[in-house]
Amino acid sequence: MFIKQLYTSCLSEAAYYIESEGEAAIIDPLRDVSVYISIAKERNAKIKFIFETHFHADFVSGHIDLSKETGAPIIFGPGAQTNFKVHNGADGETFNLGKISLQLIHTPGHTLESSCYLMKDLQEQPFAIFTGDTLFVGDVGRPDLSSGDLSSEELASIMYDTIQQKILPLSDNILVYPAHGPGSSCGKNMGPTTVSTIAEEKKNNYALQPQTKEEFIKALTGGLDSAPSYFSVNAKINQHGYQAFEEVKSRGMKGLTIAEFKTLHNKDMILLDTRHAEKFKSGFIPGAIFIGLEGRFAEWAGSLLPFDKDILLITDTGKEEETVTRLARVGFDKMQGYLEGGFETWQANGGKVDMIIEVDADELMMDIPHDENLVVVDVRKETEFGEGHLKDAINLPLSEMTDIAQLAQFEENQNLYLHCAGGYRSVIACSLLKREDIHNLRNIAGGWDSIREQENVKIIKEASILN
């Protein structure tokens, strides 16, 4: 018996490779499936099943491509309707894998088709449960993403029944392998680890404590941040199907000469620069949107970029494949290639260059009393802003900066000083503003982490958003 968790930090996502006696199963694979095929080949095993815990909203699954590559059937829980062939497992149905087995446990609540897979060992005793987005370390799946016409409260009510009837009766020693870890937007209170036990969750998980259904619903639905806008797009892709990853990758990996790049660049396309923020700030092609690979790249790309427009890429040399792969994981299929030699090629050929001016937090504090046109724009989440911000700061969360009307509210005479928590999101925000010809701005180095350390800084703890 062999279990391998394959964790992707950018998406806080865990896929699983399980094997017994040369037969393997994959649970919740990412779109780039070569890693699962390689593991099976190295271990001289054959992939027999592809298990999906639900229609994922935060990434495009590799179930279709992996099934085509291996011939293994795709298993979903009851009621999952797709545009491709799957096996809808029944609640309690058992799938034999070598000398072990996996039993499907229908666990609706996060979505209606959500299911867990209970693995039984060589002695046919429950050993581990792969919980998808039903149960996390310290949390359960949020009930407001994608399940038809049901409200969050109705799904939370269903989740309560699932917890009471399907999760709490499980033996304490069973290992818990969830689909996500800390940082994922699929929950709100995830713990710092990606493996647990039923005993630990009964002890520490707020959703598994003794409480009435009404108390549970209130706890589960309260304090939820808005889900990233691309979640509904990815859920539909996972349900309806998608273009083969290798085709998407081949098109995105096309190296473009400067002449080819300039020809395409003149069209209505998105120019995406994925270099490190420090490089981008020092110089970039005017109109480029920055989303650096060093941050939660795929999540921000999905939240901020349109899915219906072609994309041209500016990357560091050697990062082209990683960029295309991570974009494809969240449903982008229209990458049209990258500039060979990157930004340096653009510069060498006399292309116009823009840059982002950056100031330290102490300079901001000195400027505030003397500049009546100075406006601090805090691009953190509303909850972060409410926990502490500068007096008179405007809260415009980065996730809302695709709304042109929001950006149009800034006046030409205003001097905008942007910050987030540490500096990554604010550089993205600066690139979005500059793309709309708003250039009178500064980025605050180190963000809020640096601002709050300044002498005599007055921190306000109240919510304030730009309406």
Distance between CA 383 and CA 367 in Å, rounded?
27
Instruction: Return the percent helix, strand and coil in the chain, to nearest 5.
Output: 30, 25, 45
Break the chain into its structural domains and give their ranges: 2-228, 243-348, 358-460
Bridge partners of 231? none
What CA dihedral angle connects 49, 51, 56 and 58, to 10 degrees?
A: -70
Vertex 117, ends 209 and 170: CA angle to 5°? 35
Nearest to 64 by CA among 248, 198, 323: 248
CATH topology of domain 2-228: Metallo-beta-lactamase; Chain A (3.60.15)
The answer to whether the CB of 191 falls within 8 A of the CB of 204 is: yes
The answer to whether the CB of 218 falls within 8 A of the CB of 291 is: no
Q: pTM to 2 decimals?
A: 0.93
Q: What is the predicted pLDDT for the residue at 465?
A: 43
User: What CATH number does domain 243-348 carry, 3.40.250.10, 3.40.50.300, 3.40.190.10, 3.30.565.10?
Assistant: 3.40.250.10
Helices (H), 192-306: 198-204, 213-221, 231-240, 245-252, 258-265, 277-282, 297-304
Question: One digit per residue, pLDDT tens: the chain, 467 residues?
Answer: 999 999 999 899 999 999 999 999 999 999 999 999 999 999 999 999 999 999 999 999 999 999 999 999 999 999 999 999 999 999 999 999 999 999 999 999 999 999 999 999 999 999 999 999 999 999 999 999 866 688 999 999 999 999 999 999 999 999 999 999 998 989 888 999 999 999 999 999 999 999 999 999 999 999 888 888 899 999 999 999 999 999 999 999 999 999 999 999 877 899 999 999 999 999 999 999 999 999 999 999 999 999 999 999 999 999 999 999 999 999 999 999 999 999 999 999 999 999 999 999 999 999 999 999 999 999 999 989 999 999 999 999 999 999 888 888 899 999 999 999 999 999 999 999 999 999 999 999 999 999 999 988 999 997 444 43
User: What CATH number was assigned to the domain covering residues 358-460?
Assistant: 3.40.250.10
Per-residue tokens: 363? 């300079």
Q: What is the predicted pLDDT for the residue at 147?
A: 60
Nearest to 289 by CA among 436, 403, 435, 408: 435
The answer to whether the CB of 424 falls within 8 A of the CB of 448 is: no
The reply to whether 358-460 shares the fold of 2-228 is no
